[in-house]
Structure 1
Amino acid sequence: MICPEPKGTLDTMASIRHEIMIDAPPQRIWDVVRDVGPVHERLLPGRVVGTRIDGVERFHTFPDGHVIRELIVSIDDQARRLAYSVVDGARPALDYHHASFEARDEGERGRLIWITDILPDTIAPQIRIRTEFAIAEIKKAIEGAPTGDR
């Protein structure tokens, strides 16, 4: 099938990518990332104060009481990849959100990759700053966790 050329301008979404080396084996990084329930304890303690799971939906409560709702799209143990989408409660409001985490093997250490796609692209600078701080907090949480944390 041949698709016609779009008329006018094509609004593309912003794609924000962060990669960080973590001083932990990739399996431990993946264990924390794939554990979708206790985000407030294992992945982002302090930034998220509560997490609730209802089927394939995850609800995060933040320190100010604000709640966002996410859809857990995929948990792929073989690829060590988690995909999710914010579907309600984003501040600022988003037309579209999809993100993924991937834990990769770098020998004794692991690399965490976080990709976030959003619309409108005009709020990408705000989201980039948030995710930049958050991935540093994730690194700190994983590196500081006891080896047998789960």
Structure 2
Amino acid sequence: MATIRWEEPVAVPAAQAWALLRRVDRAHELFAPVLVAGSMEGDVRTVTFANGLVVQERIVTVDDQAQRIAYTVVGEMFEHHSASMQILPVDDAMCRFVWISDFLPDERAETVRPLVEQGSRAFAKNVEDRKIRG
């Protein structure tokens, strides 16, 4: 099973970053320009990536105590997929955004890795630039 783990520093307090990340219906804003569109129906969000890839993600949990979101990609792209995004405090003015994705088949890493890396950087930039309001 392939695992991709990415940590991105974010120059805002953890509570501020979490207040935005927990809004799972706004992923297309938080991860712009990597994501260009998004919608939510029940616990499934549909996101469109800048490269044209459209993915449906079932939100498994939004854990306020751990400041963590868990989700799975549904459909035929993966035999198995589980992922989480978490905000970890560093100090009063800084946090880390941690994204972990586990999936099969391993060959999908060529597609997933750049999206995780670019998405993490976009999240940090959008939150730091305060382009997104809670």
Q: TM-score, normalised by structure 2?
A: 0.89
Residue type of the partner of 1:130? Answer: L
Residue 83 of structure 2 corresponds to residue 99 of structure 1: yes
Work out the percentage of aligned pairs sharing the same amino acid. Answer: 35
CA offset at residue 62 of structure 1?
Answer: 3.4
Question: What does the per-residue CA deviation read over 1:17-43, in whole Å, with 9 as the maximum and x for residues that have no partner?
Answer: 1111110010111112110112122x1
Partner of 2:117: 132
| Structure 2: runs of 5+ lacking an equivalent | none
CA offset at residue 64 of structure 1?
Answer: 6.0
Q: TM-score, normalised by structure 1?
A: 0.80
Q: Does the CA-based 8 Å contact 2:20-2:133 persist in structure 1?
A: no
Partner of 1:116: 101
Aligned residues: 133
Partner of 2:34: 47
Partner of 1:79: 66
State the alpha-carbon separation in 2 of the partners of residues 115 and 99 from structure 1: 5
State the alpha-carbon separation in 1 of the partners of residues 51 and 8 from structure 2: 28
> Aligned-pair RMSD on alpha carbons?
1.8
| Structure 1: runs of 5+ lacking an equivalent | 1-12
Task: Pick 1 or 2: higher relative contact order, CA cutoff 8 A, min separation 6.
Answer: 2
SS of the aligned residue for 2:18 comes to helix
Partner of 2:9: 21
